[in-house]
C-alpha cells in the first residue's frame, strides 16, 4: 500500500469488449438512479442483470407460447415443450455435456446441490463414510452435506485454505481415502474470488474412485466451462447469476450416475406409470423434474446463454481480467483498505474492508453514491472465520462494468474514510 493521493486515474488496460454497446442491452443500468446518482452495479456475484434480449424472450413466451409442457397434444403445449427442451440443449452445449438427458433443470444451484445430496448422498453415503468439502464453500454447499452427515452418521472433512485464499492441495490429497464418498467443491469462491483448480482436483479424486460435485454458481458467467474436459461428475449453476431469470438453475450429471440415483421429489412428470401398488420412474432427466417446472425461466436461461455466447466468453474473460487488475490497483492503493483474497487465479471480484469502518456502513455510504455492493458474510461464514472478521464489503464485476465505475468505487471508498475521519 502506498500513500499516494490519487485522484489521478491510473492507465487503463486495453479491453477487447465494446462495453458501451453491451451496456445498451441492459436497460436497468442506464435508467435507474439510486439516490439520484447513476447506478454503478457491482453486486453481480449476488445476482446479475438481464439484457433486453432475455427479457424479450421471456415476455414472448408468456405472450405467445405458454401452455403446460410434456403432456399436451395441442399446438401450444408442443410449442412450449419444444422451447423448454431447446433451452435444455442450450445448457448442454454451454457446458459441453455429451447428452441433453444429462441436464436436469432445478430451481437454483442450491436446489441442484440438494438434489445430489438427496439422490446420491442419501443412497450411497453410510455411517462412517466421509464427504470432502473446502473451506471456501458457500453455505449452499455446506449445509446439505451437514444434514446428510447428521442423518447417516457420516463425517465432513474440510480442505483448508491459505492466507491468499487458495486451497491447500496437499491437505486435499491427504483427506481422500477409502471412506470418501463424494467431493463437493466450488469452482470459484463467491467470497474471495479464488478460482479452484477443479480439473486437477477431479483427477485426484477419481484416482481414489470418488465422484466430484462442482458448484459453478460463480464460474459459468466468467469463463468457458467444459464438463467433459473437467471430467466433472456433477456440475451445478444458477440462472440469475448468468444474466438469466431467478427460479431456474441446472445440474449436469454423468448419465450413469444420474441413472443410479434415487429421485428427489415425487409427483407428476417424473413417472412412467403409477398404480397404488407400484410406480415406475421416468427416464433421466425427467425422473428429477417432478411437477410443472418454471418453463418461462428455463427459456429465459436459454436466451441468456445465447446472449453470453454472442458477446463471447473469451472477450468477457479478457475484459474482466483487465477490470480486476485495474480495480485491485485502484482499491489497494487507498491507505487503510485491506483486500481479502489474492489467489493467483481469481475471478473479477474484490472483498475488502475499510479500516475502522464496519462493512455495513461502507455499503450504506456507497449506496448513497449510487454504488451497489454486497456487505456481510456472503453466506460463507467459514471464510470469514478463517480471516477472523465478521464480514467484508464485496464488489463483484460483470462484463458490462467499466473502468469509470471502478474509479467511482475508489472515490466513494475515500468518501467513507473522510466521513469517518
Partner 1 sequence: MDSKQLYQEVILDHNKKPRNYGKLEDATHRSEGLNPLCGDHIWLAAKIGGDRIESIAFEGESCAICKASASMMSVAVKGRTVAEVETLVEHFRAMTTGQEDAETSGRYLGRLTVFAGVKDLPSRVKCAILPWHTLHAAVNAEAVTTTEGDADPVARAAE
Ligand X SMILES: Cc1ncc(COP(=O)(O)O)c(C=O)c1O
CA distance 259 to 262: 8
CB of 226 to ligand X, least distance (A): 19
Among 15, 196, 238, 353, binds ligand X (CB under 6 A): 238
Specify the pairing of strand 130-134 against strand 180-186: parallel
Among 218, 282, 351, 402, binds ligand X (CB under 6 A): 218
- Note whether 411 binds partner 1 by CB under 8 A: no
Q: Would you say 180 or 194 has its CB closer to ligand X?
A: 194
- Note whether 35 binds partner 1 by CB under 8 A: yes
CA distance 175 to 318: 35
Q: Which residue has the cell 454486497?
A: 374
Q: Which residue has the cell 468518501?
A: 415
CA distance 229 to 232: 8
Catalytic residue among 257, 315, 379, 411: 379
Residue span binding partner 1 (CB under 8 A) among the ranges 74-82, 170-178, 274-282, 353-361:
353-361
396 binds, among partner 1, ligand X, none (CB under 5 to 8 A by kind): none
Q: Would you say 141 or 392 has its CB closer to ligand X?
A: 141
Number of alpha carbons in the 13 Å side-chain half-sphere of residue 65: 18
- Note whether 351 binds ligand X by CB under 6 A: no
Please answer whether residues 29 and 400 qualify as being in contact, where contact means their C-beta atoms are separated by less than 8 angstroms: yes
Please answer whether residues 288 and 141 qualify as being in contact, where contact means their C-beta atoms are separated by less than 8 angstroms: no
- Note whether 108 binds ligand X by CB under 6 A: yes
Please answer whether residues 184 and 112 qualify as being in contact, where contact means their C-beta atoms are separated by less than 8 angstroms: no
CB of 159 to ligand X, least distance (A): 15
| φ/ψ (deg, to 5) at 236 | -120, 145
Site for partner 1 in 361-390 (CB under 8 A): 361, 364-365, 368-369, 375-377, 390
CA distance 194 to 226: 19
CB of 235 to ligand X, least distance (A): 12
- Note whether 114 binds ligand X by CB under 6 A: no
Q: Mask of contacts with partner 1, 250-289, x by CB under 8 A? A: ----------------------------------------
CA distance 104 to 287: 9
CB of 249 to ligand X, least distance (A): 6
Residue 149 falls in the annotated catalytic set? no
Amino acid at each position: 500500500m502506498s500513500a499516494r493521493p490519487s485522484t489521478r486515474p491510473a492507465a487503463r488496460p486495453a479491453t477487447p469488449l465494446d462495453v458501451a454497446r453491451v451496456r445498451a442491452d441492459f436497460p436497468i443500468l442506464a435508467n435507474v438512479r439510486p439516490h439520484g446518482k447513476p447506478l454503478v452495479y457491482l453486486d453481480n456475484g449476488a445476482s446479475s442483470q438481464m439484457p433486453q434480449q432475455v427479457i424479450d424472450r421471456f415476455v414472448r413466451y408468456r405472450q405467445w407460447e405458454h401452455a403446460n409442457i410434456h403432456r399436451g397434444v395441442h399446438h401450444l403445449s408442443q410449442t412450449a415443450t419444444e422451447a423448454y427442451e431447446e433451452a435444455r440443449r442450450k445448457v448442454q452445449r454451454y457446458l459441453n455435456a455429451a447428452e441433453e438427458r444429462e441436464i436436469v433443470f432445478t430451481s437454483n444451484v442450491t436446489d441442484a446441490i440438494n438434489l445430489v445430496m438427496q439422490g446420491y448422498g442419501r443412497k450411497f453415503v453410510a455411517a462412517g463414510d466421509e464427504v470432502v468439502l473446502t473451506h471456501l464453500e458457500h453455505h449452499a454447499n455446506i449445509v446439505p452435506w451437514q444434514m446428510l452427515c447428521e442423518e447417516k452418521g457420516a463425517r465432513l472433512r474440510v480442505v483448508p485454505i491459505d492466507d491468499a485464499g487458495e486451497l491447500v492441495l496437499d491437505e486435499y490429497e491427504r483427506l481422500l481415502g477409502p471412506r470418501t464418498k463424494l467431493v463437493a467443491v466450488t469452482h470459484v469462491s463467491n467470497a474471495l474470488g479464488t478460482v479452484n483448480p477443479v480439473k486437477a482436483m477431479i483427477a485426484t479424486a477419481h484416482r481414489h474412485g470418488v465422484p466430484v460435485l462442482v458448484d459453478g454458481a460463480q464460474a459459468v458467467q466468467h469463463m468457458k466451462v467444459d464438463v467433459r474436459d473437467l471430467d466433472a461428475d456433477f456440475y451445478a449453476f444458477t440462472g440469475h447469476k448468468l444474466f438469466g431469470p431467478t427460479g431456474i438453475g441446472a445440474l449436469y450429471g454423468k448419465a450413469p450416475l444420474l441413472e443410479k440415483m434415487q429421485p428427489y421429489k415425487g409427483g407428476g412428470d417424473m413417472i412412467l406409470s403409477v398404480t397404488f401398488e407400484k410406480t415406475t420412474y421416468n427416464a433421466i432427466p425427467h425422473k428429477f423434474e417432478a411437477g410443472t417446472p418454471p418453463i418461462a425461466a428455463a427459456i429465459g436461461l436459454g436466451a441468456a446463454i445465447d446472449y453470453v455466447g454472442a458477446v463471447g466468453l473469451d472477450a468477457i474473460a479478457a475484459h474482466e481480467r483487465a477490470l480486476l487488475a485495474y480495480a485491485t490497483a485502484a482499491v489497494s492503493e487507498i491507505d487503510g483498505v485491506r483486500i481479502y483474497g489474492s489467489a493467483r487465479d481469481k475471478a473479477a471480484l474484490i472483498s475488502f474492508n475499510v479500516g475502522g469502518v464496519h462493512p455495513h456502513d461502507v455499503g450504506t455510504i456507497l449506496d448513497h453514491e449510487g454504488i451497489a455492493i454486497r456487505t456481510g458474510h456472503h453466506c460463507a461464514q467459514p471464510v470469514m472465520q478463517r480471516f477472523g472478521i465478521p464480514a467484508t464489503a464485496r464488489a463483484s464485476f460483470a462484463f458490462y462494468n467499466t473502468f469509470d465505475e471502478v474509479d467511482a468505487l475508489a472515490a466513494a471508498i475515500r468518501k467513507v474514510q473522510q466521513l469517518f475521519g
